Structure 1
Amino acid sequence: MYFWISIFISTLSGIIAISQFFVLFAYDQRNKNFPRMETKRFVLRQIELTDAEEVFYYFSQYEVMKYYDLDVLKDVSEARRIIKNWQTKYHKNEGLRWGIATKEDNKIIGSCGFHNWEKEHFKAEIGFEVTPEYWRSGVMTEVLQPILTYGFEKMELHRIEALYDPDNMASKKTLEKAGFIYEGTLRESAFEKGQFCDASICSLLKKEFAK
């Protein structure tokens, strides 16, 4: 009897594993090409190695990197590594990072996308940055809407989280404007640049976004 139970459990596990594979395979097939979207002023597209100079430009500025867990970039080769990492995560079906390109000249002025994608829990974390020249011009308010829509509808997310430095008031206001709800502060939850740091966490649920 135990022998047949063991076979049944093994078979059931195999069926579950196969079904999960086909779910991921179907997602990959639907998203073979990186999803390109447009807003009134911007094109949201995949960031290529040819965009390294633009990515390096804003990641080499202290104002942008102040709340990042990375140091200010010193060389364009570091930007290329970041781009390759984003591309790898996309090809491994672990996340997406859109480049925010101006319609006038197709130059990348920032990025936004999903990481820490936990498919079994239908949730992911969102992050973004914009070059200082475009601060206070409504860039993120404009591009967050189609990206959040993609997350909830195409990626079938139930919950989207965002973590930010408690002192980063700009990110806080941007997320609140997009409908995110503050949940609390994770005390000394990360070790960045040689010290333990707090992180504020907020989230947006699909049912809240649909309202």
Structure 2
Amino acid sequence: MECGRMEVETYLRDMPEFNTARLTLRKLAFSDLEDVFSFCSNPNVARPMTWEVNESIDATEEFLNMVITGYGKGESGEWAIEWNETGQVIGVAAFIDWSNKHKCVELGYFLSEEYWGKGIATEALQELVRYGFNELYLNRIEGRSDTDNFGSQKVMKKLGMNYEGTLRKNEFIKGEFRDTEVYSILESEY
């Protein structure tokens, strides 16, 4: 089966739920507002991201509205990362960009600071990598991070991704140009 834009949109409209030993990955819901605001309002979580710290819960509500509206159109690829033990949403994992012509997707994520360094991002993203290669028939999955975001680089390496290079000053984020490291894994390497 070849993966085309309409097919990816169909998959995203009917986004599957994934369960691991510690996590459930599912669609975000408005009932997640307080949980998502708790980590989106943390400057340490927002620092490497393209979005600003959520100063008010209204900013988080706007984000959730955009994502939830996008689900119906096949335009949103965000999964809530729910901690099974408590039912609390502790992060977001996503297909943040995809090309159907090239059968490629970029992964993204952000996680509550109290859960950093526990293998949670790797556990969640492994499910998206498996889904991308085994069900969406992708050829390439990539990830990007600021050059000083060592935690994200470690996650990408644990996913089996290879470092491809650094894009120099390729993004203007929060008042400065930033360098971006690019990692990828191919279906043939999975």
TM-score by length of 1: 0.82
Measure, in 2, the Cα distance between the counterparts of 1:52 and 1:134: 18
Structure 1 or 2: more helix by fraction:
1
Query: Per the alignment, in what secondary structure is the counterpart of residue 105 of structure 1?
Result: coil
* Structure 1 residue ranges without an equivalent (≥5): 1-19
Amino acid at match of 1:145: Q
RMSD of the alignment, in Å? 1.9
CA change 1:180–1:95 in 2 (3 A) is: farther
Name the CA shift for 1:29/1:131 in 2 (closer, same or farther; >3 Å): closer
Q: Which residue of 2 aligns with 1:91?
A: 72
Query: Larger Rg: 1 or 2?
Result: 1
Question: Is 1:180–2:180 an aligned residue pair?
Answer: no
Which residue pairs with 2:135 in the alignment?
154
Q: What SS does structure 1 have at the residue aligned with 2:55?
A: coil
Moved over 6 A (4+): none
Which one of 81, 105, 111 corresponds to residue 130 of structure 1?
111
Mapped partners of 1:202, 1:29: distance in 2: 27
The one of 168, 178, 186 aligned to 1:205: 186
C-alpha separation in 1, matches of 2:149 and 2:7 = 38
Q: Supply the distance in 1 between the matched residues of 2:131 and 2:115 (Cα, whole angstroms).
A: 24
Match of 2:47 in 1: 66
Structure 1 counterpart of 2:30, from 49, 64, 67: 49
| 1:93, distance to aligned residue in structure 2 (A) | 2.3
Amino acid at match of 1:107: Q
CA distance in 2, matches of 1:88, 1:116: 17
Tell me the secondary structure at the aligned position of residue 101 of structure 1: strand
Higher relative contact order (CA 8 A, sep 6+): 2
Tell me how far apart the structure 1 counterparts of residues 12 and 179 of structure 2 sit (CA, whole Å). 36
Q: Is the 8 A contact 2:13 2:73 kept in 1?
A: no
* TM-score normalised according to structure 2 size: 0.91
CA contact (8 A) 1:118 1:124 kept: yes
What's the CA shift for 1:167? 0.2
How many Å separate the matches in 2 of 1:30 and 1:65?
Answer: 29
Contact in 1 for aligned 2:146/2:179 (Cα 8 Å):
yes
Code of the residue aligned with 1:94 in structure 2: it is E
Query: What is the deviation of 1:34?
Result: 2.7
Is residue 94–residue 117 contact of structure 1 (8 Å, CA) maintained in 2? no
1:52 deviates by: 1.1
Residue aligning to 1:9: none
Contact 2:41 2:54 (8 Å CA) reproduced: yes
Unaligned 5+ segments in structure 2 are none
| CA separation of 1:68 and 1:25: change in aligned 2, threshold 3 A | closer
